[in-house]
Amino acid sequence: MKTTMEEVVRYYLLKMGKKGPVRRRIAIIGMYFCVSLFHFAHYIRDNRKRLAMVMMSLVIFIAYASFSFPIFPDGEEHKQNERLTALISDESVSLAPEAEVDLEGLEDWEEELLFEEDEAALLQEDEEDQIVLEDILTYRREQEERQDAVPESVGEQDREVFSFSSDDWRLILVNKQHPIPEDYDFTLATIKGSQQCDERIIDDLLAMMQAAKEAGFNLLIKSPYRSDTRQEWLFARKIRLYMGKGMSYMDAFKLSSQVVMVPDSSEHQIGLSLDIVCDTYGTLTQGFGETGAGIWLEEHCAEFGFIVRYPKGKEYITSVEYEPWHFRYVGVEAATVIMEQELTLEEFLEEID
pLDDT band at 199 (very low <50, low <70, confident <90, very high): very high
Residue 180 gets which letter from DSSP?
A: P
**Lowest-confidence range among 70-74, 233-237, 257-261, 342-346?**
70-74
Radius of gyration of the chain (CA): 35
DSSP secondary structure letters along 80-91: HHHHHHHHHHHT
- pLDDT of 88: 52
| Mean pLDDT along residues 44-60 | 81
- Measured from the Cβ of residue 162, the count of other Cβ atoms closer than 10 Å reads 12
Mean of all residue pLDDT scores within the chain: 79
262 pLDDT band (50/70/90 cuts)? Answer: confident
pLDDT attached to residue 29? 86
Residues 299, 220, 258, 352, CA torsion sign: positive
Going by C-beta distance under 8 Å and a sequence separation of 6 or more, which residues neighbour residue 272?
Answer: 170, 172, 197, 198, 201, 328, 329, 330
CA atoms of 33 and 81, how far apart (whole Å): 56
Of 38 and 314, the structure prediction assigns the larger pLDDT to: 314
- Taking the whole predicted model, whether its pTM rises above 0.75 is answered as no
By CB neighbour count within 10 A (0-12 exposed, 13-18 middle, 19+ buried), where does 153 fall? middle
Q: Are 261 and 320 within 8 A, CB to CB?
A: yes
pLDDT digits (tens, 9 = 90+) for 102-138: 544 544 544 444 444 443 444 345 444 566 666 676 6
Single-letter amino acid code for the residue at 180: I
Q: How many CB atoms lie within 10 A of CB 11?
A: 11
Residue pair 320/284 in contact (Cβ under 8 Å)? The answer is no
Q: Which residues contact 161 (CB under 8 A, 6 or more apart)?
A: none
Q: Catalytic residues, which ones?
A: 323
CATH classification code of 75-352: 3.30.1380.10
What is residue 22's predicted lDDT score, i.e. its pLDDT?
A: 80
Work out the number of other CB atoms within 10 angstroms of the CB of residue 34. 17
Q: Please, which residues have CB within 8 angstroms of residue 218's CB and are 6 or more apart in sequence?
A: 132, 133, 212, 278, 279, 280
- Residue 346: pLDDT band by 50, 70, 90 thresholds? very high
Directed axis angle between helix 202-214 and helix 292-300, to 10°? Answer: 130
Q: Where are the domains of the chain?
A: 5-67, 75-352
Q: What separation in angstroms does the CA of 339 have from each of 79, 301, 303, 331?
A: 35, 9, 10, 12
